[in-house]
Chains A and B, each alone.
Chain A
Amino acid sequence: MINPHLPMVATIVERAQETPDIFTIKLDVNNIQRAGSEQRNDRLKRNTGVVTDENLIDDAITKKIPFSFSPGQFNMLYLYGVGEIPISIVSDPDDELVGHTIRVVGRVTKGMGHLKVGDQLGLRGPFGRGWPLKQAEKKDVVIVTGGLGCAPVVSVIHYIIRRKSDFGRLIILQGVKHSADLIWKSQYEQWALEPDVEVRVAASQSCTDSETKSWPWYSGHVTNMIKDFSYDPENTIAMMCGPEPMMIAAVNALTKEHVKEDSIFLSTERNMQCAVGHCGHCQFGSQFICKQGPVFSFPEIKKLFGKKGW
């Protein structure tokens, strides 16, 4: 049996410093046997009752099947001698390399910040449930994010832009505290040039004069920009990520514009250690965020979301 706790080795192929404390690494994971494949196949057999070709399953395990994930899922990254942390995937599922954007906040991320191209990490994943991309097909997609909460949605933005004909309008609303916090500024500018894509960026805290001059976008809360667009309730899906109060304000603003609650999806976070629904840290009411989440539709978590102490 394959052990879902055992990491595989991933090699850093590219590294970019986004801001003094945010960096992106791109990992080569395709040369490694996939942990957990066997369990997944067992599950598939159990759930479908279909007796699959045993050879096929064996092939999938032994022959380096490509690392496949859906946007919104996360990996557990392990730094040798330090520890393991959950990090969402920012790359596109079709990319050769698996990308992670990391902010230096704790012991493990601080250590990871010192890694260079060619260095190795442990990796387990992908884990959790990602964005509802099937459900979003042919619909307008509104993306609301705050701060580095953008990481889980960057993957979905890339995904939609690359497959634009499968989707309707794409509205990207990004909020930051200070204008200097915005990473990938040129990326936003580039997205804004795509047909049928609207990009609005807001900085919530007042900027200095010189910053205001170079800040082409909105000053204020990102959630205030929601009302600037019109939405067809039958045809709109919203995906959001960021601090919980921001997401609650965004849900309120969207429902005011008649976007349906069950069309609003949120990426949530809690302490995660095992990523397989066993260690108990990410429990949120009756959900394990690592397993049933991290992406939830609003009605699934409405009862407790944003309430203190859950």
Chain B
Amino acid sequence: MSEKIANKTTKNPVKKILNKSDFDELLTVLKDMQYELYGPQLKDDAIVYDLLSSQEQLPQNISDDQRPGQYSVSDTQTGRWFAWANAVQGIKPLVFVPVEKLWSATHDTEIGLSFNPVDVSEKPRAIIGVRNCDLAGLRLQDQHFLEQEYVDPYYQSRRQNLFLVAVNCTHPAATCFCHRTGDGPIANNGYDLVFDELEDVFVVSAGSDKGQDVIDLLPVIDSREHHLTQVSLQRQQVNKSQMSSIKPMTDIDIQKKLNFNFETDAWDDIAKRCLACGNCTSVCPTCFCYSERDVPATGEDKLDLSISTYIREWDSCFNQSHSYIHGIVIRPETKFRYRQWLSHKFSTWFDQYGRSGCVGCGRCVTWCPVGIDVIEVIGTVCEKRECSEEKEVNDD
């Protein structure tokens, strides 16, 4: 499975130059290959991925400002098209879709009950302008939906037909912390093409044979020394800006310190602020929870009893119904739900998938209506943990 999906890296990717004025050529080539194109664009004052038909739609001269509980965009005359950190949603909805039909059932008094699968073969999709945090999120979703005991056929059909054009991040937001989770800001693999944006050109290289095939059809020229120097300088700068003064927490440290089997009043404190709205989980590129339900069909003015559709939709561990079981809610209080989310994302995810479930995109911080900063919470909880450990030692 994984071999089929992993983008094979070509051995010595030669960096090429694509003029910005030729960017539409890329879209044309991909369209000719029957890809449905998605790309970042400004909609309702926010950057989102949507159907893309022309480079005009890209967020040119737009920059984003993200802080805890705040998001805004502004015009910048940089001449850049990708001078923003990340889109409101990552690329998750294009692979693990928010609401989808799983199957339908029909009931007929003569024939009885029958189940009808939905056609899961989707049109191949190409996504332009993918950030490394989102590629990392996709990798975690692959692990969950494709590399365990059961394979999810719905996810698989979209995933295996994806063509990913990464654009390296040059403008991380104040909420970003991908360097702490080891997921950025520069893309290393998992893409078909990767772009570094300079003033008038893109420096392009392939990450897969599919990507190389596309480059071969583009009006590109070989890169010059000065292009590569600029790229390298730009990458150094962005890396530096991501290395904030606070020292990176190593993964193992967090896992150990957040070890879920402990009680602390830190959870009570956070529950006083957390609204359990689930915004954090709905923008998270790695959250995978979904609920399933039956949707009876409606006719013109009444229920159509002959067919019923079974759907799934994104769920959140912040919803009361998430832990419902025969009349009981296992996590009735917000503190339990917050603890479940945080301990899963940063601690038990290691046991399940060998790393943390956070890719440092910072969306949960930006889109939290009360501006809870997850890194701050981890700090508080870990601090309390250390205190309680000391106390245990003293008590002994």
A135 to B48, CA, bound (A): 55
Chain B interface mostly: mixed
Residues of chain A within 8 A of B331, CB atoms compared = 309
| CB within 8 Å of A: which B107-155 residues | 107, 112-115, 117, 120, 144-145, 148-153
CB–CB B115/A271 < 8 A:
no
Residues of chain B within 8 A of A279, CB atoms compared = 288-292, 312, 315
Given the known interface contacts A7-B115, A9-B114, the answer about A278 and B152 at a Cβ–Cβ threshold of 8 Å is: yes
CB–CB B330/A80 < 8 A:
no
Given the known interface contacts A7-B115, A281-B291, A286-B348, the answer about A270 and B325 at a Cβ–Cβ threshold of 8 Å is: yes
Residues of chain A within 8 A of B99, CB atoms compared = none
A220 within 8 A of B: no
A9 to B105, CA, bound (A): 10
CB–CB A281/B112 < 8 A:
no
A168 within 8 A of B: no
A84 to B308, CA, bound (A): 12
B23 within 8 A of A: no
B71 within 8 A of A: no
B233 within 8 A of A: no
CB–CB A309/B333 < 8 A:
yes
Complex partner residue of B145 from A121, A278, A310, CB under 8 angstroms: A278
Given the known interface contacts A270-B323, A277-B149, A280-B288, the answer about A310 and B340 at a Cβ–Cβ threshold of 8 Å is: yes
Chain A interface mostly: loop
Given the known interface contacts A80-B308, A304-B260, the answer about A39 and B151 at a Cβ–Cβ threshold of 8 Å is: yes
Residues of chain A within 8 A of B315, CB atoms compared = 279-281
Complex partner residue of B112 from A120, A283, A304, CB under 8 angstroms: A120
Residues of chain A within 8 A of B299, CB atoms compared = none
Minimum Cβ distance to chain B for residue A55 (Å): 23
B352 within 8 A of A: yes
Q: Residue-by-residue, is A86-121 near B (CB-CB < 8 Å gives 1, otherwise 0)?
A: 000000000000000000011000000000000011
Given the known interface contacts A9-B115, A83-B294, A303-B261, the answer about A106 and B151 at a Cβ–Cβ threshold of 8 Å is: no
CB–CB B105/A122 < 8 A:
yes
Complex partner residue of B103 from A5, A43, A106, A273, CB under 8 angstroms: A5
Minimum Cβ distance to chain A for residue B383 (Å): 21
Residue of B nearest to A1 (CB): B153
B20 within 8 A of A: no
A121 to B115, CA, bound (A): 11
CB–CB B150/A39 < 8 A:
yes
Residue of A nearest to B267 (CB): A309
Complex partner residue of A283 from B102, B103, B145, B344, CB under 8 angstroms: B344
Residues of chain A within 8 A of B150, CB atoms compared = 4, 36, 39, 276-278
Residues of chain B within 8 A of A39, CB atoms compared = 149-151
Kindly list the 4 A-B residue pairs having the minimum CB-CB distance in the complex, ordered from nearest: A309-B336, A286-B351, A280-B289, A286-B348
Which positions in B face A, CB cutoff 8 Å? 102-103, 105, 107, 112-115, 117, 120, 144-145, 148-153, 156, 260-261, 288-294, 296, 305, 308, 310, 312, 315, 317, 322-327, 330-331, 333, 335-336, 339-340, 344, 348, 350-352
